[in-house]
C-alpha cells in the first residue's frame, strides 16, 4: 500500500513539476512567379547579309536566354513594346515590318510543357505553357526573321539599315 501511495505521489509531483504550454506554427506559402532574361543577352541581332538570307530568312538561337520559376501552372508570353520599329538611320519610327517569329526550347527535356511559335506583335502571344510548377527551368529562345524576300523593300542602296524595337516577356498564371 505504501508502494502504491508512493507511485501516486510521484505521478502527482511529476505533473506539477512539468508544466506544458503550446505555440501554433503557421506556414504561409505564397504563389511566386519569376522570369529572368540572361543579362548577357539583352540585344538580339537578326542580320540579312546575302541573297540566301533574304530568300530563306535568318535565325538566331539565344542559349539559356530565359529562366522561369513558378510555384504553379504558368504561361510565358512575348510581345513587342511598340507596334512600329524605329529606323535608327533616319530616326523615323512606326515602321511596320514583317513578323518575326519566336519560339522556346527547354534546355532539359520536359514532357509537361506546351511550346508554341509566337509572332512578335503588341498583343502578345504564348510561347510556353505548363500545368506544373517550374523551378529555375532554363529555355533557349529562337528568333526567326522571314524569308521570301519580305525585307528587300526595307533595304536601302549602299547603306546598312537597322530597325529596332523592344521585346517584352511576361509570366502569367495559367
Strand partners, 33: 70
Q: What is the pTM of this model?
A: 0.85
pLDDT score of 44: 98
Query: What is d(CA 146, CA 137) in angstroms, rounded to the nearest whole number?
Result: 29
pLDDT score of 6: 56
User: Could you report the per-residue pLDDT of 103-127, keeping only the tens digit for each?
Assistant: 999 999 877 899 999 999 999 999 9
pLDDT score of 119: 97
pLDDT classification of 5: cutoffs 50, 70, 90: low
User: Could you report the per-residue pLDDT of 74-96, keeping only the tens digit for each?
Assistant: 999 999 999 999 999 888 878 99
For the cut 80, the answer to whether the pLDDT of residue 1 exceeds it is no
Length of the chain: 174
Fold of 33-173: Immunoglobulin-like (2.60.40)
Domain boundaries, the chain: 33-173
User: Could you report the per-residue pLDDT of 26-71, keeping only the tens digit for each?
Assistant: 999 999 999 999 999 999 999 999 999 999 999 999 999 999 999 9
User: What contacts 128, CB < 8 A, 6 or more positions away?
Assistant: 68, 74, 75, 76, 104, 113, 114, 115, 116, 139
Amino acid at each position: 500500500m505504501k508502494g502504491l501511495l508512493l507511485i501516486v505521489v510521484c505521478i502527482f509531483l511529476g505533473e506539477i513539476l512539468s508544466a506544458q504550454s503550446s505555440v501554433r506554427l503557421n506556414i504561409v506559402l505564397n504563389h511566386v512567379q519569376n522570369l529572368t532574361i540572361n543579362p548577357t543577352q539583352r540585344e538580339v541581332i537578326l542580320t540579312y547579309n546575302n541573297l540566301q538570307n533574304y530568300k530563306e530568312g535568318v535565325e538566331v538561337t539565344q542559349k539559356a536566354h530565359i529562366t522561369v520559376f513558378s510555384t504553379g501552372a504558368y504561361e510565358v508570353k512575348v510581345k513587342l513594346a511598340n507596334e512600329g520599329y524605329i529606323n535608327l538611320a533616319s530616326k523615323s519610327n512606326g515602321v511596320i515590318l514583317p513578323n518575326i517569329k519566336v519560339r522556346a526550347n527547354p534546355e532539359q527535356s520536359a514532357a509537361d510543357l506546351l511550346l508554341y511559335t509566337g509572332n512578335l506583335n503588341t498583343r502578345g502571344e504564348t510561347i510556353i505553357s505548363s500545368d506544373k510548377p517550374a523551378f529555375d527551368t532554363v529555355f533557349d529562345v529562337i528568333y526567326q526573321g522571314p524569308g521570301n524576300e519580305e525585307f528587300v523593300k526595307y533595304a536601302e542602296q549602299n547603306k546598312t539599315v537597322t530597325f529596332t524595337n523592344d521585346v517584352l516577356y511576361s509570366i502569367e498564371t495559367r
